[in-house]
Structure 1
Amino acid sequence: MITAAPSPIQPAALQPPRWQHAWREAVRDPGELLSLLGLDGLAAKVSAEAAAQFPLRVPRGFIARMRHGDPDDPLLRQVLPLDDEMRRVPGFGLDAVGDSAARAGTGVIQKYQGRSLLVTTGSCAVHCRYCFRRHFPYAEETAARDGWHEAIALIRADSSIDEVLLSGGDPLSLATSKLAELTDALASVPHLKRLRVHSRLPVVLPERVDDALVDWLAALPWPVAFVIHANHANEFDASVDAALSRLRQAGVQLLNQAVLLRGVNDTVSALADLSERSFAAGVLPYYLHQLDRVAGVAHFEVDDTRALALHAALAARLSGYLVPRLVREVPGDTGKRPL
């Protein structure tokens, strides 16, 4: 028998970053996810149709933070495709926040004075079932097309724009070299004063915060607000703490935005734990969003009366700097609408 020669070991410089390996190893099969958690009996509630329309994707490190054997685990609830998603509910549509009407160019959304949002990519390391862009036409609407040229030209032509938001998808889904290509181009725009990055990856895939990313952030010519997205205190662990510490060392301001979700964080204790845990990790609570009413997410909705009561109780329990602003995004408004 002729044995195959061993594969040569790649030099470190040629090996893909560790985070990309973790990305590729993400779980995509609902059955595998339930099996890993000892919840095979929950398979009857999984919707194959919902999973086909909006596929499951969840990193294994995030799964490791879920409670084994608990069908009501708040992290599992955020990612498992259920039959509830297929119910048609009046008032829930495909574009809940008016992205289409605010389109300024390919992958460029401009809703508010002085700020432009770039849809940098349609990719994400985790597919959150309540995602307000789950129906967004990413194939046609990504700012990276044509080397960012159209997006940069639009921003350069409007001197009122002094802040750019990198969104998606998740901008950290892109290689750091691609992010640097974008910010190098933005650096030629004289009227930019701030950069904002919205990313869930430091929470769900903390491996993404590597040396190259930290070096890129530290070298940017603007103050940077880095907005993470965690909805429950259990999303934090030592690996997330370490990633957030590295981001702070790069000089960025860390903020957290959460979504109020039924069955995930719709109790005063869950919200208080989230604020305290995020602050312990160096992240200031920023926004608590009322659910964006996109088709497929009605089972997560908390009504306004209960939301206001929860927020009032939270404010009575915590120091003011730990209380995020309760807001809703309303198409056509000049900013997030406080409740």
Structure 2
Amino acid sequence: MIPLPAPARQPARWQALWREAIRDPRELLEALGLPALASRVSATAQAQFPLRVPRGYVARMRPGDPADPLLRQVLPLDEEDRVVPGFSLDAVGDAAARGSSGLLHKYHGRALLVATGSCAIHCRYCFRRHFPYAEENAAAGGWKPALDYLRAHPSVGEVILSGGDPLSLATAKLAELGDGLRTLPQVRRLRIHSRLPVVLPERIDADFLDWIGALPWPVVLVLHANHANEIDAAVREACAALRARGVHLLNQAVLLRGVNDSVEALEALSEALFDAGVLPYYLHQLDRVQGAAHFEVPEAESLALLAALRARLPGFLVPKLVREVAGEPAKTPL
């Protein structure tokens, strides 16, 4: 009997949903009943940093509301075309911190792997929107340059996965890294920075949970949510599954004009995070990347918002207001 060919491997559900993401601003605006807003879409910004947004995230937007805080985070508007002094292509000094291909070493005791340039969503304020991912991609070389660098720097006890979004990689690819890190005796913990559990919670599937739950080190997953409306039942379910595997969940947000620049929005975000089992960690002043100036909140206003937030919430729900300054040995508290 002639053996039948093996059936083609079907993509995981999260990968299929990824491929179905909306990439055309006009399609997005039509879905939200906002076709008139298309006149403000920047073709230049769309070409330079294209829109990408999962349909499940779009479902959390308010139809008919041009000021929806989730829509504002993803829609490429003509405001991005303004050239503003003080805003640059490399806002946080990534280029100067390069340790090896795809590895940044800014701070004592920890190093960051730029695992991939891919992400399920393109946030308009992204500080790495101009990053040269084609040349700086730790996973592309099978992690070897990054692992060699870490082996030569035994003081690095914490490995941070970032990107892009590291969870855009298949779990099998992440497992390759885990196997490599097991050969480094100095590793004490793994930190993962990811927006996928928020924008595409289906990524937290059984294979991923099995992998992360079997890692030999404490794992910290730093989520990225900026508004309470981003956190729905599917996100809460993903967070619960991660916590059940012993993963520590934190959140870092960016203070954004027109998104969360009110004490009410920040309070609601902290409460929604805690209800999902996530502790607020950082509230970042905007990294001054070219194309994002319209999101900036002045520092004096940020400090006033934080003071008001302290008056309304217990201390453990008040994130640290920080700015990343290129060349400094740590985040700068404000």
State the TM bucket, normalised to the shorter chain. Answer: over 0.9
Paired position in structure 1 for 2:196:
201
Letter in 2 for 1:172: L
Q: Greater CA deviation, 167-176 or 138-147?
A: 138-147
Residues 108-157 of structure 1, C-alpha deviations (whole Å, 9 max, x = no match): 00000000100000000000000000000000000113211110010011
Equivalent-residue separation in structure 2 for 1:310 and 1:12 (angstroms)? 56
Other structure's SS at 2:234 match: helix
Aligned residues: 330
Task: Output aligned runs, 1:89-108, within 5 Å.
Answer: 89-108=84-103
Alignment partner of 1:224 is 2:201: no
Q: What residue ranges of structure 1 are gaps of 5+ in the alignment? A: 1-9
Letter in 2 for 1:192: V
Paired position in structure 2 for 1:247:
242
Equivalent-residue separation in structure 2 for 1:334 and 1:225 (angstroms)? 21
Taking structure 1 as the reference length, the TM-score comes to: 0.96
Task: Output aligned runs, 1:144-183, within 5 Å.
Answer: 144-183=139-178
Paired position in structure 1 for 2:129:
134
Other structure's SS at 2:143 match: helix
Equivalent-residue separation in structure 2 for 1:29 and 1:250 (angstroms)? 37
Other structure's SS at 1:314 match: helix
Give the one of 312, 319, 322 matched to 1:317.
312
Task: Output aligned runs, 1:248-327, within 5 Å.
Answer: 248-327=243-322
Equivalent-residue separation in structure 1 for 2:144 and 2:6 (angstroms)? 35
Q: What residue ranges of structure 2 are gaps of 5+ in the alignment? A: none
Measure how far apart 1:13 and its partner are: 8.8
Percent identity of paired positions between Structure 1 and Structure 2: 68
Letter in 1 for 2:49: F
Paired position in structure 2 for 1:4:
none
Equivalent-residue separation in structure 1 for 2:322 and 2:242 (angstroms)? 26
Taking structure 2 as the reference length, the TM-score comes to: 0.98
Alignment partner of 1:37 is 2:32: yes
Residues 171-215 of structure 1, C-alpha deviations (whole Å, 9 max, x = no match): 000000000001110110001101000000000000100000000
Paired position in structure 1 for 2:18:
23
Letter in 2 for 1:330: V
Give the one of 171, 181, 195 matched to 1:186.
181
Letter in 2 for 1:312: A
Task: Output aligned runs, 1:46-85, within 5 Å.
Answer: 46-85=41-80
Letter in 2 for 1:266: D
Letter in 1 for 2:58: I
Equivalent-residue separation in structure 1 for 2:60 and 2:303 (angstroms)? 29
Letter in 1 for 2:225: A
Letter in 1 for 2:116: T
Letter in 2 for 1:250: R
RMSD after superposition: 1.1
Other structure's SS at 1:332 match: coil
Measure how far apart 1:15 and its partner are: 1.7
